[in-house]
């Protein structure tokens, strides 16, 4: 009989935290940040009103690749297709949990005089 590999949700969180999973943050001032505690994600690139290059998109691709690499190293993680690795499921031995990652932008500077068009991309982990 072939034993199916499983991993707990805790193991998944530990692996994702190792590559930067945290609550998205916006800079309040030079010394403090505000967290968006309802979300968990990995920081991507930033854009502003004068952005004229695609450096933020390249940074986002690197973040996606880190996520794909770490997910492929975790036993019990399965992908429905190779075309969209941002959708995955985790078999913990009792239940199959479905997740997906999606890009969201958050203001880089929170509640202050800075231009709200300064945005930071975060790759957010969602339950399906």
Q: What is the DSSP string of 17-84?
A: HHTT-B--EEE-SSS-EEE-TT--EEEEEEE-TT--SSHHHHHHHHHHHHHHHHHHTSTTEE-S-SS-
Please give the structure tokens belonging to residue 114.
């800075």
The reported pTM is: 0.86
List the chain domain ranges. 9-127
What residues in the chain have per-residue pLDDT under 70?
A: 1-6, 80-85, 112-113
Please give the structure tokens belonging to residue 33.
């940040």
Query: What pLDDT, on a 0 to 100 scale, did the predictor assign at position 27?
Result: 86
Residues 92/16, Cβ–Cβ less than 8 Å: no
Q: Among candidates 116, 124, 126, 118, which has minimal Cα distance to 43?
A: 124
Residues 124/105, Cβ–Cβ less than 8 Å: no
The model's pLDDT over 69-87, given as tens digits with 9 standing for 90+, comes to: 898 888 888 876 555 668 8
Query: What pLDDT, on a 0 to 100 scale, did the predictor assign at position 2?
Result: 41
Query: What pLDDT, on a 0 to 100 scale, did the predictor assign at position 1?
Result: 37
Query: What pLDDT, on a 0 to 100 scale, did the predictor assign at position 92?
Result: 83
Query: What pLDDT, on a 0 to 100 scale, did the predictor assign at position 40?
Result: 96
């Amino acid at each position: 009989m072939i034993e199916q590999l499983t991993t707990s949700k805790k193991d998944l969180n530990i692996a994702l935290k190792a590559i930067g999973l945290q609550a998205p943050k916006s800079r309040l001032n030079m010394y403090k940040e505000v967290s968006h505690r309802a979300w968990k994600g990995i920081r991507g690139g930033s854009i502003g009103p004068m952005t004229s290059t695609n450096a933020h998109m390249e940074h986002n691709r690197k973040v996606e690749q880190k996520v794909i690499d770490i997910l492929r190293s975790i036993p019990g993680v399965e992908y429905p297709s190779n075309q969209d690795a941002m959708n995955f499921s985790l078999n913990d031995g009792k239940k199959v949990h479905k997740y997906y990652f999606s890009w969201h932008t958050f203001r880089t500077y929170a509640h202050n005089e800075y231009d709200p068009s300064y945005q930071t991309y975060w790759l957010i982990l969602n339950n399906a």
